[in-house]
Amino acid sequence: MPREIRAIAAMGLNGELGLNGHLPWKHPEDLELFKAHTQGSIMIMGAQTWRSLPKPLALRDHWILSTGPRESDLAKAQTCAQKERIRFFATKDAVLSALREEPDSRSVFVIGGAQIYKLFEQECSEWIITHFQSSFKADCFFPMDLLNQRLVLSTQECLWPSLEHYKAHLIHYGAKNDGPSTV
Ligand SMILES: NC(=O)c1ccc[n+]([C@@H]2O[C@H](COP(=O)([O-])OP(=O)(O)OC[C@H]3O[C@@H](n4cnc5c(N)ncnc54)[C@H](OP(=O)(O)O)[C@@H]3O)[C@@H](O)[C@H]2O)c1
């Protein structure tokens, strides 16, 4: 069955995504939004993003791209009560092939980081992005060209108590003009 793949991210004004392996901001409401979207889904991520998680996230499958997982990556996977929820893949093709073999219709999210958003650009039909209207110190940036020519499906201001000094908008982007490919 063809599957839709979506991407979810939060970024600063200049595409800031991360600093020292973590998020550059603290907005619990954005984490709640992430949770609401991804619970029950298969999450595709890069090894650096896996390393940024203190522990596996509940009720979600973690599919991790790595050319060679470290001992600590595997050890963290072992802390998951349902070990089958954590899988490592050496290539994008292996991920796509495994998705085709999945029997159920769970949703699929690419959750980052920058390398993996870029890698799955062609496969993602929708991008759910929190745009913070502020600059941040960062060492990892979203490849902004990925959003060029994408249709804006909806825009909503985030009215969150934690947003004291700047605004944020939640924007859903659709496919590029040439349309998404399905898996
Ligand atoms: N703001 C947000 O929404 C958001 C979301 C996610 C992450 N982040 C932040 O982003 C940062 C991490 O992003 P990142 O771009 O540095 O790293 P990343 O995309 O999470 O992971 C990169 C790693 O993925 C593996 N990889 C990449 N391409 C591959 C391929 N074609 N085949 C197999 N493996 C591949 C490699 O792991 P190996 O070296 O093991 O081979 C590579 O080092 C962190 O600061 C994190 O907190 C922010």
Domains of the chain plus CATH, in order, are 5-173 (3.40.430.10)
Overall average pLDDT of the 52-78 stretch? 95
DSSP H helical ranges for the chain: 28-38, 47-52, 71-78, 92-101, 114-119
Taking the C-alpha atoms of residue 150 and residue 164, their distance in angstroms, rounded to an integer, is 30
pLDDT over 70 at 178, yes or no = no
Ligand 1 contact, 24 CB (< 6 A): no
Beta bridge partners of 144: none
The burial class, CB within 10 Å (0-12 / 13-18 / 19+), for 176 is middle
**Ligand 1 mean position to 127 CA, how many Å?**
17
Ligand 1 contact, 43 CB (< 6 A): no
Per-residue model confidence (pLDDT) at position 94: 98
Q: Which amino acid is at 9?
A: A
Q: Which amino acid is at 7?
A: A
pLDDT greater at residue 23 or residue 176: 23
Ligand 1 contact, 93 CB (< 6 A): no
77-to-20, 25, 65 alpha-carbon distances in Å = 21, 26, 13
Report helix, strand and coil shares of the chain as percent, to nearest 5. Answer: 30, 30, 45
Residue 111 tokens read as 């959750």
Q: Which residue's CA lies nearest to atom 22 of ligand 1?
A: 46
pTM of the model: 0.96
Ligand 1 contact, 68 CB (< 6 A): yes
Q: Is 43:60 a contact under the CB 8 Å cutoff? A: yes
Q: Which residue's CA lies nearest to atom 47 of ligand 1?
A: 22
For residue 133, give the nearest of 30, 11, 17 by alpha carbon. 11
Question: Which of ligand 1's atoms lies nearest the C-alpha of 114?
Answer: 15
Tens-digit pLDDT profile for residues 87-109: 999 999 999 999 999 988 899 99
Taking the C-alpha atoms of residue 112 and residue 63, their distance in angstroms, rounded to an integer, is 11
